[in-house]
Amino acid sequence: ETGVTQTPRHLVMGMTNKKSLKCEQHLGHNAMYWYKQSAKKPLELMFVYNFKEQTENNSVPSRFSPECPNSSHLFLHLHTLQPEDSALYLCASSHGSDRFPNTEAFFGQGTRLTVV
């Protein structure tokens, strides 16, 4: 248990569905992140929120829409996804500002997403 909780752990969705991933942390961190992890590929940073403000959007397609209602919760809304979006989606949090300035990140266990 890392202090970062993600739900659901597994999700199968059709290309026309709309679903949301949820992340929650009660570590008192100010920064939260969404990462995509595909097999045998480096972690891909998708979005960064610092004090609830989005500070990073790494050219992520608009079919992924993040939401950060408060510093403890982060959502990733999904719609009209493609099969190549199937991956493990990891949420992380840290003390830092908009990056990881010498502070470690705490990761959730991820949501295994399969798009059919």
Binding site for another protein (CB under 8 A): 2, 4, 40-43, 45, 90, 96, 98-102, 104-110
State in angstroms the smallest separation of the CB of 79 from another protein. 26
Query: CB-wise, 67 or 98, nearer to another protein?
Result: 98
Given a contact cutoff of 8 angstroms between Cβ atoms, the answer to whether 110 and 37 are in contact is: yes
Nearest to 75 by CA among 28, 106, 36, 32: 32
State in angstroms the smallest separation of the CB of 15 from another protein. 25
Between CA 54 and CA 108 the distance in angstroms is 19
Query: CB-wise, 1 or 16, nearer to another protein?
Result: 1
Query: CB-wise, 10 or 16, nearer to another protein?
Result: 10
Between CA 74 and CA 34 the distance in angstroms is 9
